Chains A and B, each alone.
Chain A
Amino acid sequence: MQPTTHAFPENARKALSDERLQKVLAIAPAGFVNRRKQAADRLPEFEALRDQGRDLKNHVLANLDTYLEAFEGKVTEQGGHVHWCRTDQEARDAILGICRKVGAKTVTKGKSMISEEIGINDHLEANGLTPIETDLGEYIIQLRREPPSHIIAPAFHLSKADVEGTFRQAHTDLPADRVLDEPKVLIAEARQVLRRKFQQADVGITGANIMVAETGSTVIVTNEGNGDLTQILPRVHVVIATIDKVVPTLEDAALVLRLLARSATGQEASAYTTFSTGPRRPGDLDGPEEFHVVLLDNGRSALLGTEFQDVLRCIRCGACMNHCPVYGAVGGHAYGWVYPGPIGSVMQPALLGVKEAGHLPNASTFCGRCEAVCPMRIPLPKMMRHWREKEFEQNLQPAAMSRGLALWGWFARRPALYHAATKMAARALGMLGRGKGRFARLPLAQGWTRHRDMPAPEGRTFQQMWAEKKAAEKKGTR
């Protein structure tokens, strides 16, 4: 997917004037917010679990090589294969190679953000294979040829009516006069269509929410059960996951699962939690003949030991975007690539570079709501600030803004001059504005006055009035 992250302001403007999208955004995030809060309130130890989650991942990141090698050892021991991939290109090649080797034509896919990150669908298609998304949301956006707008709810930006329209256009073999007015009916139709495809698939690709080092298992959570069919029915199961997803033990996996479901959807547990450990063993009733794990770095290891390391604790629950007022205003597509919301504003500059993604860490008020709910206690605003520092060092901030701030900084370092200047500014603005108490337009402040008035200052600075008051008191006591 070609990123349009550099065009964030234009993307945002488009999103803000898209009435259909705005209607969806006006209600959808609130549902997530309320359900998460209820789930967190019901669990007295939730805050303690968050601390444990943070500590667990910090420990893993400090010993990443050990756990990844242990994981690989266990996968191999069970007859599976691990493919180490440094870049998205290597991962695409690895997956295509596996598909080619078994002569695959149709590939079913469970929901996976990493597969979006590496653009595997386009790659498979370009090479003559047919990838089929089996998660309902992913299936819908695949039909629409759109990227996901949310990391756990890919079709977050769509209304029921949008989905109905999409299905009518795509499923032309079904009666045109069928009634499709309820989510239940839509889901049933998708099931019916997908069922056939599951049977045809030669390879099933899933992501992994967790990899367990002690057993070599990969774990996925879904609410539709599509993941299970994706990985059990085809002959070959390919897991695509990044290196930060490993945890040492099953016990640790349970901790992540408890945090994940509550933070993501407010559930105590997702409807399906599936552990996959190697290919089918003799005597197993089902399971794939081959089990592959494509283990991708794609820039993660470069963050280790930097001020951005903490972001690798992310378990992709989506809580940060559900609570983000900027995401709530513009939706996910405005972010221009795979990861939207606060996690995107930290990850995209890491994956695409600050030149492409520099707007995102700036498009935040640092309100801190994301950090307040992040189950892994990732200091997202702090990391966005670190990206701003990188941009500042490279002189990438808008020139007018930098000049203004530099001038202000120069004055602020010189208290006497600063107070003289503020005194003049307050006086001028105060005199001009006192009639109305505010300005509808101000030169150099159009960004502000385009949408709101600028209240007028009182006319004198506090420092000035305080000095006068103190002088008068001194005189009085003399």
Chain B
Amino acid sequence: MADTRPAPRVGLFVTCLVDVYRPTVGFAAVKLLEDAGCTVEVPASQTCCGQPAFNAGDRATARDLARSTIAAFEGFDHVVVPSGSCAGQIRKHYPELLADDPAWAARAQHLSARTHELVSFLTDVLGVTDTGARYDGTITYHDSCSGLRELGVKEQPRRLLAKVEGLTLNELPGAEVCCGFGGTFCVKYPDISNRMVEAKTADIAGTKADTLLAGDMGCLLNMAGKLKREGSAVRVRHVAEVLAGVTDTPPIGEPIKSGRA
């Protein structure tokens, strides 16, 4: 019997890094969501979830941005984010940020309850078990901190990756250890950040994987930047690109060959 329920209406929160650095991830997310039967919309009034301000101790700006994000995403069945860190900000921190604001507390709770990190949304909410993609290569996977520890994203990407044809997963030792990005941390304390990402790229090299995947652009830019500086041939991609089979864009930090810009 055909499913007669209306398609879930999903608002995509693009995140600032995907928006500016890697639109491919946004389109991969849209494809994954549409393939799973969702209608996807992208409110133009979204900017940033406000995490940089929140973590810099600037609560006023963080609250402002939380309010405008809440307003931008009112009315969707779900809000989906291709980042554990930004999803965590909305899910875990918006309610706390606006708890004492009578006009917004309930709206923050409401958005929090409907917001999901992309991969866990596919598996846990939509019940997707196979995205039908193919990727010829050996990958390793880094668990980004917020997704892992704030949202419990751990098995979900691995379950979907296991179904990707041609793909082998070599687990990364210390996959749960921070890569050293940490937002402004990496520029405020560059030497410490460097020691952390160095340890990470050494572990990545040890896996013999040809591709590194993760679910957060910040960590990906950090690890890709270090791998490229070290002259590594490891290709770096957001997990959504591989799951959606959208791999015609060069890996992160590799030259753009086609004349798309």
Contacts and interface: CB of A to CB of B under 8 A. Distances in A.
Chains A and B belong together in one complex: yes
B48 interface: yes
B14 to A, nearest CB: 5
Interface string B230-261: 00000000000000000001101111100011
Nearest to B53: A409
Contacts of A329: 192, 195-196
Contacts of A401: 56, 184, 187-188
Interface in A391-433: 391-393, 397-398, 401-402, 405-406, 408-409, 411-413, 415, 418-419, 422, 425-427, 430-431
A326 B47 contact: no
A454 B225 contact: yes
A451 interface: yes
Given A453-B229, A455-B21, A448 B186 contact: yes
Given A413-B68, A431-B261, A455 B252 contact: yes
A415 B46 CA distance: 6
A415 B178 CA distance: 32
B1 interface: no
A447 interface: yes
Interface stretch (A89-97, A137-145, A248-256, A435-443): A435-443
Contacts of B186: 365, 447-448
Interface stretch (B104-112, B123-131, B144-152, B161-169): B144-152
Contacts of B59: 389, 392
Interface residues of B, number: 71
Contacts, number: 226
Interface in A123-142: none
Contact of A466 (B42, B52, B253): B42
B47 A412 contact: yes
Contacts of B194: 450-452
Interface in B136-189: 145-146, 149-150, 176-178, 180-189
B255 A391 contact: no
B177 to A, nearest CB: 6
B226 interface: yes
The interface residues of chain B, by DSSP majority, are classed as helix
> Which of B45, B57, B182, B256 counts the most A-chain CB atoms under 10 A from its CB?
B57
A6 interface: no
A389 B55 CA distance: 8
A137 B135 CA distance: 53
A440 B44 CA distance: 33
A367 B57 contact: no
B20 interface: yes
Interface string A370-390: 011000000000000101111
Given A447-B190, A451-B229, A465 B23 contact: yes
B187 A448 contact: yes
Contacts of B178: 325, 365, 367, 369
A367 B142 CA distance: 13
Interface string B13-24: 010101111111
B56 A397 contact: yes
Contact of B255 (A387, A435, A451): A435
B36 interface: no
Nearest to B92: A382
Contacts of A369: 145, 149, 176-178
B134 to A, nearest CB: 23
Contact of B47 (A368, A372, A415, A437): A415
A272 interface: no
Nearest to B21: A457
A102 to B, nearest CB: 48
A362 B192 CA distance: 12
A366 B56 CA distance: 12
5 contacts: A385-B57, A389-B57, A392-B56, A409-B53, A412-B65
Sort A-B residue pairs by CB-CB distance and give the 5 closest, nearest first.
A365-B182, A459-B261, A447-B187, A388-B57, A392-B57
